[in-house]
Amino acid sequence: MRLSKHKIEYLSDRILKLIQNHGQIHILANEDLLVRAVDDAVMENMRAEDEIDAEVEGLISQNVDEIRAMDMDMGALRSKMKREIARKRNFTL
């Protein structure tokens, strides 16, 4: 799932509000810094997922003739390859 910068900022604000409303968590840092840290974490996660997607597309393009010859479902194959690469990188999709 791709998120716009606006949506990421909205989600970061919502996360901050959830933390603030939790009775056992007390924010000691600057709230703006916390929101930016969440934004950065989400963006980094999206970049890592984009790298995995690019690797999957590269592997598929290298083997497209074999894949077609075996009449494989491209969507299912992409999904399976993405999960496997993510698992090897210890990345949670």
Q: Tell me the mean pLDDT per 10 residues along the chain, length 93.
A: 85 90 86 91 93 96 91 93 96 92
Identify the pLDDT of residue 25.
85
Identify the pLDDT of residue 85.
97
If one counts every other C-beta atom within 10 angstroms of the C-beta of residue 44, the result is: 10
Q: Please name the residue that has the structure tokens 């491209």.
A: 74
Identify the pLDDT of residue 5.
87
Identify the pLDDT of residue 50.
94
Identify the pLDDT of residue 1.
57
Residues 6 or more apart whose CB falls under 8 angstroms from that of 41 comprise none
Identify the pLDDT of residue 40.
93
Identify the pLDDT of residue 57.
96
Identify the pLDDT of residue 89.
95
